[in-house]
């Protein structure tokens, strides 16, 4: 089945630094990937839709300059949290849509802690 | 009103019980319905995927969609402690790009 690999699984960074999270589709080409944020005991909040070779589409209220998304190939999308602050601490999850398959596959998530 | 409503629980049942998890929705354009299972600090795992109305069965899991009532259900038979997780419903319309998720129901199955 389709596998999405997300790294790192956990990262702790200092306030003001940037953190990059990678999401790779291992056995399929993902023309579209999605980035979500999840707070404890809450559902998934879509942050942005990443399309290969074009600019990401951000949801309302998500700062595009703070959450940089790059989808340079059909198998890799990255989310960079720039100038991180403690309020950016959260669980970030990517998902990918397999072409002609309406099931979405999720990565294992990245727990970001900004201290 | 949220597009998708789901009781957050927790729902506590003894091992072997039949579990019923439900979501209601307001957007009649939704055609695709999914159930995901999420263990703590892990990404969601797709359990069931259905199109339009009807039932779908996979092992101990049965998904039901009633579009006339805008109501979907996931039944788990012979529940096991390993089923303890948060269950999220998700849905999309024809040609959808984005999924709309419920808040998730936390299920606890005690031995």
SS3 at position B82: helix
For residue A102, what pLDDT band results from cuts at 50, 70 and 90? low
Interval A32-68: pLDDT, tens: 899 999 988 788 899 999 888 888 999 999 999 999 9
Q: What's the gap between Cα A31 and its chain centre? A: 14
**pLDDT at site A30:** 84
What are the backbone angles phi and psi of residue A86, rounded to the nearest 5°? -55, -35
- Residue A1, chain B, CB below 8 Å: the answer is no
**pLDDT at site A97:** 78
Contact B106, B11 (CB under 8 A): yes
Q: Which residues of A touch B51 (CB under 8 A)?
A: 102
For residue A99, what pLDDT band results from cuts at 50, 70 and 90? low
Question: Do residue B102 and residue A91 have CB atoms under 8 angstroms apart?
Answer: no
Interval B41-97: pLDDT, tens: 899 999 998 888 889 999 999 999 999 999 999 999 999 999 999 999 999 887 666
Closest approach of chain A CAs to the CA of B102, in angstroms?
Answer: 7
Q: How far is the C-alpha of B6 from the C-alpha of B9, rounded, in Å?
A: 9
Number of residue pairs across A and B with CB atoms under 8 Å? 51
Q: How far is the C-alpha of B30 from the C-alpha of B60, rounded, in Å?
A: 25
C-alpha Rg value of chain A to the nearest Å: 13
Contact A78, A23 (CB under 8 A): yes
């Amino acid at each position: 089945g389709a596998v999405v690999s997300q790294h790192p699984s956990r990262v702790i960074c200092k306030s003001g630094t940037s953190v990059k999270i990678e999401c790779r589709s291992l056995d399929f080409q993902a023309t579209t990937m999605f980035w979500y944020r999840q707070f404890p005991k809450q559902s998934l909040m879509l942050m942005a839709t990443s399309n290969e070779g074009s600019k990401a589409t951000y949801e309302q209220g998500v700062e595009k300059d703070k959450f940089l998304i790059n989808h340079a190939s059909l198998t890799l999308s990255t989310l960079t949290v720039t100038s991180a602050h403690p309020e950016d601490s959260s669980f970030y999850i990517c998902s990918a849509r397999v072409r002609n398959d309406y099931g979405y596959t999720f990565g294992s998530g990245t727990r970001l802690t900004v201290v | 009103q949220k597009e998708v409503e789901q009781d957050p629980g927790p729902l506590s049942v003894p091992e072997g019980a039949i579990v019923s998890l439900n979501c209601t929705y307001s957007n009649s354009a939704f055609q695709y319905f999914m159930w995901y299972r999420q263990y703590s600090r892990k990404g969601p795992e797709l359990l069931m995927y259905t199109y339009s109305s009807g039932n779908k069965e996979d092992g101990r899991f049965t998904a039901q969609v009633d579009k006339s009532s805008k109501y979907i259900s996931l039944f788990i038979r012979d529940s096991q402690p390993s089923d303890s997780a948060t269950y999220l419903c998700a849905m999309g319309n024809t040609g959808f790009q984005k999924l709309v998720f419920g808040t998730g129901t936390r299920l606890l199955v005690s031995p």
